[in-house]
Chain A
Amino acid sequence: MSRTVVTGIGVIAPTGLTLPEHWSATLRGENRIDRISLFDPERYPSRLAGEVRGFVPAERVPGRLVPQTDRMTRFAIAAADGAFADAAVDTTGLSPLEMGVVTANSSGGFDFGQRELQNLHANSPKHVSAYMSFAWFYAVNSGQLSIRHNLRGPAGVLVAEQAGGLAAVAQARRRVRAGTRVVLTGGVDSPLCPYGLAALMAGGRLSTRDDPRTAYLPFDADAAGQVPGEGGALLVVEEAEAARARGARVYGQIAGYGATFDPRPGSGRPPNLRRAIEVALDDAEAAPADIGVVFADAAAVPELDRVEADALAAVFGPRGVPVTAPKAGTGRLSSGAAPLDLVGALLTLREGSIPPTANTTVDPGYGIDLVVGAPRPVEATAALVVARGVGGFNTAMVVRTESRTGRNPR
């Protein structure tokens, strides 16, 4: 089976508008959760978020695209530009049909959609933007990126809340294996408007605390729910030999993927997260001992933290692998969270340093070895990313860097 490698990364996140900025803030364990500034959150029970700050659309998005794009799509355009620039791939030499785009999405363009629905209800259909015809769709990021970069091969969007972020990258890998030369993948979301926040609140998992340091505490005895965030990451993936042939710099390989679905609530059957992790390891032909770090889903809802901690203990043994959740400092980025964690996993392996989980004091009862306080050195060539989506989606992905001894990965 051919190998699929990551050759380009673009990041727009609460931790930064470039990859180096993001990574240094992540290694410092900075807390970027704060009171929402994009609108007045006073009347809402949940008032905190991890916002992308300092993003100026006119600087990052072509003028013709600004009026027809939601905030999340502007982020996606900027992140894709970053990913292609980083990959340094000359797409002019490729057929557009050899290039594809598969993104995840969870919120849709809610800010855009809310504004136009308000125009409709407060005024008339004639006050609704023609761009409402697509700007709020889940698929709009894939569509705009396809047009902008002339990616006319396989295209699609995966919608599975946070789990979609890994599902999209897995689908991109399938397309590379089927012969597509370059695929842009990952996810970028922004649910931070009143409409988006109300939808998340209806899910019942949001924290209502006002202190940014205690609102989102995964694996902490004091956990009280989640804080949303916005942004994400887009990746350029290619077949390994083709990437090598063009002299590309390779971050690492998308080595294994597993996806399962939980039994219906009340069935009495156990959750299936453990099996998703095992499937991903098998797919990567990796043993648990090969995994140097796990980037956790980190729900900060006690029963969900328990399920994840139990699954990790079952696969790796109690405190058997270092676990981290940098999202504790950014909030949960919907479909953008897992792609950002993939970036974290790849950079952790490359640089040998696990970023810490902000804010949390781990409850020893969970039996996990959570990295907190400061970065922790690690020497490994494989890492695991876990992402769950509301509604029973479980996904896990193994990434691997080239063996430091120069041998081919197993």
Chain B
Amino acid sequence: MTELTLDGLITIMRECAGEDEAVDLDGGVEDTPFDELGYDSLALMEAASRVGRDYGVDLPEDALGRVRTPGEFLTLVNDRLAAVTAAGGAL
């Protein structure tokens, strides 16, 4: 299963939640909190839903609620993906 990259996540955020004109999303934002990037919890839900569909991985709401930065989001997604792969793609 393909890993979600920072570029991939940023593309998804742009497509499904838009982009704050005051923010540079291409400037190495892995550790920048989502709220400083202009994204609220609903934007994260929307992105999580899209990632869930595109990557075939389910992101639990409680885990998503603890995610503060794109880097943490990637860790959550890619850990789940690794678990799916380890379980033979049937988590």
Contacts and interface: CB of A to CB of B under 8 A. Distances in A.
Nearest to B52: A126
Contacts of B15: 67
Interface string A107-130: 000000000000000000011011
A68 B18 contact: yes
A66 interface: yes
Interface string A161-204: 00000000000000000000000000000000000000000000
Nearest to B48: A130
Contacts of B20: 62-64
Nearest to B40: A64
A250 interface: no
Contact of B17 (A67, A126, A127, A133): A67
A211 B67 CA distance: 57
Contact of B38 (A64, A126, A127): A64
B65 to A, nearest CB: 14
How many chain A residues sit at the interface, stated as a range, is 10 to 19
A44 interface: no
Contacts, number: 39
B24 to A, nearest CB: 13
A31 to B, nearest CB: 36
Contacts of A68: 17-18, 42
Nearest to B41: A130
Interface string A49-66: 000000000000011111
A365 to B, nearest CB: 54
Nearest to B58: A126
B49 A126 contact: yes
B79 to A, nearest CB: 20
Contact of B45 (A62, A63, A66, A130): A130
A129 B50 CA distance: 9
Interface in A35-79: 62-68
B19 A64 contact: yes
B53 A66 contact: no
Interface string B11-31: 000011111110000000000
Given A67-B16, A131-B42, A126 B21 contact: no
A64 B17 CA distance: 6
A71 to B, nearest CB: 15
A127 B20 CA distance: 24
B53 A126 contact: yes
Contacts of B21: 62-63
A66 B16 CA distance: 9
Given A66-B18, A68-B17, 4 more contacts: A64-B19, A64-B38, A64-B39, A131-B46
Interface of A: 62-68, 126-127, 129-131, 133
10 contacts: A62-B20, A63-B19, A64-B18, A64-B20, A64-B43, A67-B18, A129-B49, A130-B45, A130-B49, A133-B42
